[in-house]
Chains A and B, each alone.
Chain A
């Protein structure tokens, strides 16, 4: 991976953000690999390992590299990421409810713990509903696409090899979105 980055980064026409997603790529990037990427010019890392200890190790490792972003891909970890010195979140839920996530980010920056608790409960509610329909490991993606269509924002089609929610699954999402009216926005 380090060798690949050594060859790739100098040829890229734009700044690069590294992406750690071991459950999809089979490689959990070692801290030393991230350091190599940064030395080659990477501007940050998105971590979707779901491993909070690893995320904190990244923040610790790069605490003096003020222009290198540590972004979590696990939206539930947003307060911990920000409070610990990280920079942000790539939170899929913001497709549906951008304001909640922006508010949670702002509350984390302001260290407004009461507000953090209040907003995080809303995010937890997304995990327990929209993200928990069925058993497929891609239920998060299918749930968001389905929810966006229920909200009238866009179509719910999911590309192969996945399929969109239909029937009972779709009804569940519709019910959840209905319940969220006035709560989430």
Chain B
């Protein structure tokens, strides 16, 4: 795997038929759709992949199928975040055995921990991992906003980058500034609207959920940002804004972004829209709205 990781790395949704069954055909369609859309890597079993809602057996099955389908065309990153230390190691070892390229870890998310406890956790975890690790900052879900000094500690232990989903652009810029002399350490935004700012400031890419639906749009936005083509950036970002105002804005649940994305993928004929417990898929009016929005996005 070439470092630094860069470009558009979609957080892959997990196509499901029910809580314990993968939508196998849907997964094949989805991966083909994203690879042909030009994405630079895949991140499976993250927040968008609903990993904490899925049992270990299903997650392993999903890792194996994804790695087989991707067949090393692009890097596959696997989320190993778990409340159990051994649970994370088990998924990391399995990922390595079926050909994944890297693992991604956010803080163990049940017990509230401090920065120094997180550093201690990484000191113990990273040397035992069979694959390179990318750090994942997701404070609204994990309750811990990783301090820059924690990220520095992770990098010194061998981490290859950080995905930041804090939504805090000042923090993202602080990361870019801090690691500007570490050209192999990737700063990846988890906020797809920040792609141009991230890239132009010296960051490396985006884990953009919208690329499940419209991979080409995000790859184009990345390319325009690298080329500093401001006219094209403005044009493409308007399209991304339209996603925020439509697909991501149905209902008021915190997870409407995920439900909307899965529902849209079903409307696009790519995969099933089932969402694992504790969430539920859109039905009725909500579903009709998404179908209408998708019908209006023919030019995407």
Residues of A within 8 A of B (CB): 1, 3-4, 7-8, 23-26, 135-138, 159-163
Contact = CB atoms under 8 A, between A and B. Distances in A.
Contacts of A160: 85, 108, 121, 124-125
Interface stretch (B29-37, B111-119, B202-210, B213-221): B111-119
A49 to B, nearest CB: 14
B143 A26 contact: yes
B112 A163 contact: no
Contacts of B121: 160-161
Contacts of A136: 113-114, 117
B278 interface: yes
A161 B117 CA distance: 7
Contacts of B125: 160
B268 to A, nearest CB: 26
15 contacts: A3-B280, A4-B277, A7-B277, A8-B277, A23-B112, A24-B110, A24-B111, A25-B110, A136-B114, A136-B117, A138-B111, A138-B113, A161-B108, A161-B120, A162-B111
Contacts of B277: 4, 7-8
Interface in B94-129: 107-108, 110-114, 117-118, 120-121, 124-125
A3 B113 CA distance: 29
Contacts of A3: 278, 280
B6 to A, nearest CB: 30
The 7 closest A-B pairs by CB, nearest first: A160-B85, A4-B278, A161-B121, A137-B112, A161-B108, A161-B113, A24-B110
B80 to A, nearest CB: 13
Interface residues of B, number: 19
Nearest to A26: B143
Contacts of B113: 136-138, 161-162
A23 B143 CA distance: 9
A162 B117 CA distance: 7
A11 to B, nearest CB: 11
Contacts of A162: 111, 113, 117
A89 B121 CA distance: 32
B117 A163 contact: yes
Given A159-B84, A160-B121, 17 more contacts: A3-B280, A7-B277, A8-B277, A24-B111, A25-B110, A26-B143, A136-B113, A137-B113, A138-B112, A159-B85, A160-B125, A161-B107, A161-B108, A161-B111, A161-B113, A161-B121, A163-B120
A137 B114 contact: yes
B50 to A, nearest CB: 14
A137 B107 CA distance: 15
Contacts of B124: 160
A137 B108 CA distance: 14
A161 B280 contact: no
B278 A1 contact: yes
Given A3-B278, A160-B85, A24 B112 contact: yes
A138 to B, nearest CB: 6
